[in-house]
Structure 1
């Protein structure tokens, strides 16, 4: 409410608001006060010029043009608002189609929007006016449908920006349907720019409607709006110019009022207006390719929780199919903690997306086996499977700032899982949410449950995210970089919390991290990924001294410890990670590996299991290597 009050604090905003209010008040009171004066005919005073009795003169029947202009305010505004409502509703349906129907059907709607937007709005309005016929009803439909593509394009852009947020992915994993996600999480977060655009569109609809009526395609006699008055007055413009000037001025002032009011609202809310379409600055970014979940490995004793065989993820590319995940096979057992490490782009997060059923079109997921607690996840995305994932799989996302819907209170967001999957009423679900906040060590959980995400610190948001996952009875917790952007003290608290939950409930834990040291301390096993494949799978205790793959040893060596010589350069991995669209023949790591031979560049090594149950994919596994250390600065300058 305070942000909306900012509209009145600037001179422009105050003037625009006052002008808009005057137009709306006239629309209500003018027909009540002056209809009789506007309809009174005076055949002895036809086409008279402005005078004290008739400020704008009279028309061809001697009727007062000024009063008719005032009375026409109601019909002009009503028809413009009706057309705006049609444009907004149709635009929302078009803009959210890709989200509701999926990318495949959504692309058809998107193509239709793109084609419609390519045409000027007035041409679309004239096209629809011919279809629906002459008259007020046909004009309302014509202007409304002509404005729908532009509104749909804006909605589509805003929805795409929100769709990539972690709390949307969490809702999907929790089994919440697309329609509920749209109304509960997406639309509230894009409401402000849509409201601003609606206000501006009302001004445009007012001008467009006046134009159609002026052309004779809108309001017909005996009704009249400002455009119809312009149409009637243009015939006598040389005798009485005020007959066209009065309704023209009314159209100009009303359109200006709505547009300036929309601009003022946009400025007050921090929404930028580009090309007459307001867009939130935060929505400009597209999907972050490395923002999702996790996957893991293990051979410990206990019940099998996750079983993945020959997992592949494929996307279409300009040069053919791109496979960022290639033949990944692993398992996670109850109570086991598995770490996933590797450079950005190695396929860690995308593997987790595939496991969590979050890879949408045009991506394709194939696997010989993909099971969670014995349930085949390759089956259709029906309600039962969504409910199963929502209660059996918990997600802890990378960025605590985007893990929650900023427009909803924390307790309500946690309670959604219980109401949706466990059949609890709102009061019981909120009590469960408070209990889960207490379980993740958030102080004063009753008060915190009624606060918004921005009132939580980063560490508290991350703990609350864990609490959301515990609303059900998860058998597997997937944590994708859960300590990103947190200070070291809070990082340790989050990791300790995950460890305590795992120990208390015998929950399997999968932890993705770029910090090899953290993974080695928290996890039982470590899976190392490179170029979409698992290149090594070994016990965490052997990570520092028993790693056999050159890439794993390079990752470990690149992390400084207390014994690192502060005067010596740090070890580095030469080159860059492989582009998934240009994976070379043979071993993908060969170009960066100091042990690479001719065989490495032509033949890809298989992931082989040794007698101890460790897996490695390398032709030179275990051989001694010299890690790449940059030359001291003095030597570089001397050379």
Structure 2
């Protein structure tokens, strides 16, 4: 109920939505009350006023029996709208049954139904309606059946497509494995998940049914005397178009307005329940961080201070990245590690200016090669980020357009930002594919993404980043779903890019071992914050935060006892919208005290380019050695 109320409120917030709702409500009210209010004057015959033109007594004139055309147009709204809705309902029911039949029937029967639907969709709807009208005969019932069956194939095709997209999901497969019948799967798991787009298309289809019904009545094979709808009135008025144009204008305008009401309502409904949902209103925006007072680091490629990323929710603003500060210098490789949900990828997306509305990014400083990213106009940033920042996404399969060749996708960046011609940009793309060790690069450039293996696609993604002159390469889980051999090849390629171009590397990974073997410095993130920042050569000997130590302890090595279960970190990270007071890791930490549960520690420098946010940092082997040396 709350969801329906929210949908209704969202529809009337925009001017278009409010207009559509008001217009459709007015049409429905007219259909309900017009026959009651003006039924008698519309049926009254006046032989003294036959075929008169518009006047104060008859706004649209009179017909061949002296009946008022204006009142007849108003009264005809009930039959016109009722028949259109009835035909639409018939089309939706029949189309849904045909569209879901392949999911219920045996395979051969389902294929026959699908073939029949495909053949029917190939014919224009009006041609099908005329064909069925000949079969069912003239009249109201025949016209309704004709239009309903003519619109059914399009709904069947839509239902087939939507059902196929849902039928492949895991929860449907789980229901099949559990022995749930096909009909129950259809009713419980498939139809409820495709109901909204079907309702939206049915609303839009009602307008088309109204026009089709008016067309059949206009041709004389729809509504028959003594009944009348807008189409029949339009046909009668057209015979007097030269003597009284208003007689045809009235019913024609009614058809247009009613069709427009259905279409606008359907489009508004699609905007609300589909991908174009209005941004939620959850009160005031989060306060921006105060601008940093200190001087910027002139040697830093990327300098981040107090970065926060917030998203609206029903309870207010949720901030999954809160107060992140770090810097990356030229030629430096910085690894970012942490469990899922710690804010690693969001931090990278915020740095790349890829957080879309309604997300909000604030920072005291967010500078890339000296340019403030939050205050520089978007037009100026496009060229800067397009040529100087490279992003290697986690899944290259979804990062490439499956309908375009790899070479053309790489060349697009050079054409856009460097002004190269189509041929020169493609030649540059081939050279970049060669640079990232893609074999037969010229032939591969003419292939589509699905013709590449996973590792090859990841190399091509790195090559796309090299189409400019990147100062920073952000690699977000670049080795996910790759076997260990290909992982090593990709990591070596990133190291080679760093060596050849002096570009900084920001490597995001769940695997702390990969980061320790690849990077110079490690940022450990937990619950949207950096909890430790230290050089890689001190990671195994001097890591002081309990969470960092826990990440290291759960990594198996050659000495791990195979008869013992693998190590795990007890508990689970907190949800971004339900962060506890104090240190977010306190509930999982063996060293937590009351201070940890009440106060959130700051990220403080402990010497040796090492920062840690902990009230009770672990005493490491290196600390003991330094203490012993001082005592002597």
Scaled to the shorter chain, the TM-score interval is 0.5 to 0.7
Within the candidate set 232, 251, 260, 2:153 is matched to 260
What TM-score do the two structures reach when normalised by structure 2?
0.58
Report Cα offsets for 1:127-155 as digits up to 9, x if no partner: 9xxxxx999xxx9xx99xx99xx9xxxxx
State the SS of the aligned residue for 2:397.
coil
Structure 2 distance, partners of 1:242, 1:568, is 76
- Are 1:363 and 2:359 matched, yes or no? yes
- Are 1:112 and 2:17 matched, yes or no? yes
Report Cα offsets for 1:157-183 as digits up to 9, x if no partner: xxxxxxxxxxxxxxxxxxxxxxxxxxx
- State the partner residue of 1:325: 321
Structure 1 distance, partners of 2:513, 2:16, is 48
Residue 574 of structure 1 and its aligned partner are, at CA, apart by 1.2
- State the partner residue of 1:618: 614
Report Cα offsets for 1:350-373 as digits up to 9, x if no partner: 111211111222221111110100
Report Cα offsets for 1:389-445 as digits up to 9, x if no partner: 111110101112212111111111111101111111211111111111111111111
Contact kept in structure 2, 1:302 and 1:334, CA below 8 Å: no
**Structure possessing the higher relative contact order (Cα contacts under 8 Å, 6 or more residues apart):** 1
- State the partner residue of 1:530: 526
1:275 to 1:366, Cα distance in 2 relative to 1, 3 A: closer
- Are 1:566 and 2:524 matched, yes or no? no
Report Cα offsets for 1:512-558 as digits up to 9, x if no partner: 00011000000000000111111000011221222010000000111
Within the candidate set 532, 535, 542, 1:539 is matched to 535
- State the partner residue of 2:290: none
Contact kept in structure 2, 1:313 and 1:363, CA below 8 Å: yes
Question: Which sections of structure 2, spanning at least 5 residues, go unmatched?
Answer: 1-9, 33-69, 89-116, 167-190, 200-272, 277-296, 622-632
Residue 468 of structure 1 and its aligned partner are, at CA, apart by 0.7
- State the partner residue of 2:309: 313
Structure 2 distance, partners of 1:252, 1:500, is 69
Q: 1:339-418, aligned counterparts within 5 Å? A: 339-418=335-414
State the SS of the aligned residue for 1:556.
helix
Contact kept in structure 2, 1:549 and 1:622, CA below 8 Å: yes
Structure 2 distance, partners of 1:389, 1:113, is 40
Contact kept in structure 2, 1:203 and 1:255, CA below 8 Å: no
Contact kept in structure 2, 1:587 and 1:600, CA below 8 Å: yes
1:254 to 1:119, Cα distance in 2 relative to 1, 3 A: closer
- Are 1:467 and 2:484 matched, yes or no? no
- State the partner residue of 2:225: none
State the SS of the aligned residue for 1:305.
strand
Structure 2 distance, partners of 1:394, 1:350, is 16
Residue 108 of structure 1 and its aligned partner are, at CA, apart by 5.7
- State the partner residue of 2:334: 338
Within the candidate set 435, 441, 449, 1:439 is matched to 435
What TM-score do the two structures reach when normalised by structure 1?
0.57
- Are 1:553 and 2:549 matched, yes or no? yes
Structure 2 distance, partners of 1:411, 1:124, is 59
Structure 2 distance, partners of 1:321, 1:201, is 49
- Are 1:244 and 2:149 matched, yes or no? no
Residue 383 of structure 1 and its aligned partner are, at CA, apart by 1.7
Structure 2 distance, partners of 1:428, 1:106, is 49
- State the partner residue of 1:482: 478
Larger mean Cα displacement after TM superposition, 593-602 or 378-387: 378-387
1:603 to 1:268, Cα distance in 2 relative to 1, 3 A: closer
Contact kept in structure 2, 1:200 and 1:263, CA below 8 Å: no
Residue 313 of structure 1 and its aligned partner are, at CA, apart by 1.3
Report Cα offsets for 1:465-520 as digits up to 9, x if no partner: 11111111110000110011111111111111011011111010000000110000
Within the candidate set 488, 502, 512, 1:506 is matched to 502
Within the candidate set 600, 606, 609, 2:605 is matched to 609
Contact kept in structure 2, 1:226 and 1:251, CA below 8 Å: no
- State the partner residue of 2:183: none
State the SS of the aligned residue for 1:370.
strand
Residue 610 of structure 1 and its aligned partner are, at CA, apart by 2.2
1:338 to 1:111, Cα distance in 2 relative to 1, 3 A: farther
Question: Which sections of structure 1, spanning at least 5 residues, go unmatched?
Answer: 1-104, 128-132, 151-195, 211-224, 231-240, 288-300, 626-639
Structure 1 distance, partners of 2:333, 2:401, is 29
1:517 to 1:263, Cα distance in 2 relative to 1, 3 A: same
Contact kept in structure 2, 1:434 and 1:449, CA below 8 Å: yes
Contact kept in structure 2, 1:200 and 1:258, CA below 8 Å: no
Larger mean Cα displacement after TM superposition, 460-469 or 308-317: 308-317
Residue 321 of structure 1 and its aligned partner are, at CA, apart by 2.3
Contact kept in structure 1, 2:531 and 2:545, CA below 8 Å: yes
Structure 2 distance, partners of 1:494, 1:448, is 18
Contact kept in structure 2, 1:433 and 1:471, CA below 8 Å: yes
Structure 2 distance, partners of 1:353, 1:121, is 47
1:275 to 1:347, Cα distance in 2 relative to 1, 3 A: closer
Structure 2 distance, partners of 1:456, 1:106, is 44
1:278 to 1:391, Cα distance in 2 relative to 1, 3 A: farther
Contact kept in structure 2, 1:370 and 1:378, CA below 8 Å: yes
Structure 1 distance, partners of 2:451, 2:436, is 17
Contact kept in structure 1, 2:11 and 2:18, CA below 8 Å: no
State the SS of the aligned residue for 1:418.
helix
State the SS of the aligned residue for 1:344.
coil
Structure 2 distance, partners of 1:396, 1:467, is 9
State the SS of the aligned residue for 2:402.
coil
State the SS of the aligned residue for 1:564.
coil
Report how many aligned residue pairs link the two structures: 416
1:116 to 1:462, Cα distance in 2 relative to 1, 3 A: farther
Q: CA RMSD in A?
A: 4.5
1:369 to 1:248, Cα distance in 2 relative to 1, 3 A: same
State the SS of the aligned residue for 1:621.
coil
